Amino acid sequence: MTLHTRGALVMFGATAMIPKLQSLGFFVEIGPLVAALLVAGRVGAGNGAVLADMRATEQIDAIEALSMDSFKFLVVPRVVACVIALPLLTTFMDFCGILGGYLSEYSLSHISLHFTAVSINRRTD
């Protein structure tokens, strides 16, 4: 994202806005979207495959024969794990995106880490 927007921002003399726009884009849009797609795709397909395999091999029937609620025993812990993991994955995606944007900007214009951190944290009222 940094490499795509850099050309237009340099043309208008707004190179100081690159870290702020990058962080705003990652924190608001890209980080949560990529983390949600990973959880929905990878974890959702994995959970569905495991539960379908358990149904095919009659493991779920055995759990229900023991008078246990198979939904509470098999599905609820997986959903709770996804709810706990999603904010952590979003934070990790945001950090990796900001670090990657900083490294790409550093390779082009040797921007300092201090300037990047200050411009990300600076509020515009």
Task: State how far the alpha carbon of 28 is from the alpha carbons of 19, 23, 42, 73, in Å.
Answer: 14, 8, 22, 35
Rounded CA gap, 56 and 100, in Å? 44
Kindly report, residue by residue over 58-109, the tens digit of the pLDDT.
Answer: 998 898 898 888 889 899 999 999 999 999 999 998 888 888 878 877 777 7
Q: Name the pTM for this structure.
A: 0.70
Percent of the chain exceeding pLDDT 70 equals: 87
Rounded CA gap, 27 and 119, in Å? 14
Phi and psi at residue 123, to the nearest 5°: -90, 145
Where in the chain are the domains?
Answer: 2-121
pLDDT at 56: 92
Higher pLDDT, 4 or 44: 44
64, 70 contact by CB (below 8 A) = yes
